[in-house]
Structure 1
């Protein structure tokens, strides 16, 4: 099985890159499942709305994952329970959390479980993702042949620790949230594909998708600043391709993907 994963989709430019590039990437790489992190896909660059979710699905995305901005757009509460291919971090605490933290895709009899977890270092203190992931994977063993994890976290150490901890239990752990694609794609112990961060899909010339002026001013004066999505930037689409052996459920290949709208940086 081949998976195409697309990193954090940011704002209108990110949605344009999904529309314009996902069909071409699918034609080039021929994935059986395409996953995208959509937690920043609204025009304001925070949260997700129903129109954006539907547009990603119509552009060829099969599953949309989220992260710490899952609830930033209140509209999500109106549609997350009915959107079976939209998943939020499984380890949000409490009972009756809207939505679900995983979904299972059946592709020609091969069952891929797509899981979403959020780290806790420098982010909100959710339930322990290590323990929650162990229990969830164990409970789904009879329902899935392979497991893909979008691990949404800030600290690189936490992402790698999670991947090593889950090595052999899941087929792939791909990090999201920091919006910068890392250069460390590998297969841990010959079983679990790992990439610290898949990168961002959206405005390439700003700062993590935001207009640079307000970000720089924040560093200069240490006062609160309102960040706005950079609408005038060139676009970039980042992610990775992962191959999984359907007999063993182990990853055999992971390859970063990055394309600019108009050539190189």
Structure 2
């Protein structure tokens, strides 16, 4: 089985690049299961049921969240109705939403959950390390493999979480910083690990936001709105291959589409229109 783990989906550019290319990526790479962090998919902050359904329609099987979970005011009334989405498992239990998912795909039961780190987070969260052990214990008899999205600011927290769950979870990946790290590897006891998947969204900006507005704030210190950037969308994440028999990861590779320095290929719709124009031109020439 092949898993594609996708980093923070930011705004319309992040949603649209998944719409345009994720179905073909799944086919080209033989992807069986896709998990994506969707906490920034609605206007760059938060998520809604419509946005979750949009991501699902174009190939995302499981959606995880982070500290922007409640940024869209309507969402607390919608979250319980979304079957393939889970909230961070270590926010207070009074919050609505599922603390984990168990999804069956190709006869393999996949457990998915997310946790918040404790540094520079917007909302209150309990100790992620104690929560990780607790959720893995709860999931171990319910699924064949466990995937954790650790939404955390610091690399030290992320590396420590990988070490804590090494051998307990099949995959531990980090999100939140929007910058992909180059440390994808299989840990000593068999867990596939990467500190941060990076961002799925517009890279001609600053972490998905308009670069000029961010730069101006750094220069003068005054608050201002940070609109979502628009140009140079990319999909960032990793591909993990799981051995069907042992249920253990055999490889993990960073995934960036298109690679930095390469242009975005034409979308399926652009190809369709080009083919239509060519056919019309050929027909006109024959007449």
Give the TM-score, by structure 1 length. 0.94
Map 1:155-166 → 2, pairs under 5 A? 155-166=154-165
1:79 aligns with 2:78: yes
Q: Counterpart of 1:245? A: 243
Question: Is contact 1:234–1:261 with CA below 8 Å preserved after alignment?
Answer: no
Instruction: Quickly say closer, same or farther: Cα 1:252–1:215, change in 2 above 3 A.
Output: same
Q: Counterpart of 2:32? A: 32
Bigger Cα Rg: 2
Judge which range, 153-162 or 74-83, deviates more: 74-83
Q: Counterpart of 1:146? A: 145
Q: Counterpart of 2:222? A: 223
Distance 1:157 1:54 in 2: 34
Distance 1:159 1:242 in 2: 18
Segments ≥4 residues shifted beyond 4 Å:
none
Distance 1:87 1:262 in 2: 31
- Give a deviation string over 1:109-155, Cα, whole Å, max 9, x none: 31110111111122244101111110111122211111011111110
1:137 aligns with 2:136: yes
Deviation of residue 190 (structure 1)? 4.5
Give the TM-score, by structure 2 length. 0.87
Which has the larger helix fraction? 2
Deviation of residue 261 (structure 1)? 8.9
Judge which range, 9-18 or 135-144, deviates more: 135-144
Distance 2:165 2:137 in 1: 11
What secondary structure sits across from 2:200 in the alignment?
A: strand
Which has the larger strand fraction? 1
Q: Counterpart of 1:122? A: 120
The size of the alignment, in residue pairs, is 262
Q: Counterpart of 1:110? A: 108
* Structure 1 unaligned spans of 5+: none
* Structure 2 unaligned spans of 5+: 264-287
Deviation of residue 263 (structure 1)? 5.3
What secondary structure sits across from 2:53 in the alignment?
A: helix
Distance 1:92 1:65 in 2: 13
Q: Counterpart of 2:12? A: 12
RMSD of aligned Cα (Å): 1.6
